[in-house]
Amino acid sequence: MSVPMPETSIRGHVTKRDATEADLPFLLACYESARADEMAIVPWSAEEKQAFLGMQFHAQHTYYHAQFPDAQYQIIELDGVPIGRIYVDTRSNEIKVLEITVLAAYRGKGIGSMLIREVMGQGAELGLPVRLHVESFNPARRLYDRLGYNFLQDDGVYQLLEWTPNTVPSATKAGD
Sequential pLDDT tens for the chain (176 residues): 444 444 456 678 999 999 999 999 999 999 999 998 889 999 999 999 999 999 999 999 999 999 999 999 999 999 999 999 999 999 999 999 999 999 999 998 999 999 999 999 999 999 999 999 998 888 888 899 999 999 999 988 899 999 999 865 554 444 44
Task: Determine, yes or no, domain membership for 53.
Answer: yes
Check residue 132 and give its pLDDT: 97
Give me the residues paired with residue 161 across strands. Answer: 132, 151
Q: In this structure, what CATH number is given to the domain that contains residue 34?
A: 3.40.630.30
CA–CA distance, 135 with 154 (Å, rounded to integer):
9
Task: Determine, yes or no, domain membership for 154.
Answer: yes
Q: Which of 87, 89, 63 is nearest to 75 (CA)?
A: 87
**What total of structural domains would you count in the chain?**
1
Task: Determine, yes or no, domain membership for 92.
Answer: yes
Label residue 151 left, alpha or beta by phi (over 0 means left) and psi (-120 to 50 means alpha).
beta
Q: Say if residues 146 and 176 touch (Cβ distance below 8 Å).
A: yes
Give the number of C-alpha atoms closer than 13 A to the C-alpha of residue 79, restricted to the C-beta side. 4
Task: Determine, yes or no, domain membership for 153.
Answer: yes
Task: Determine, yes or no, domain membership for 169.
Answer: no
Task: Determine, yes or no, domain membership for 36.
Answer: yes
* Residue 54 lies in domain: 14-163
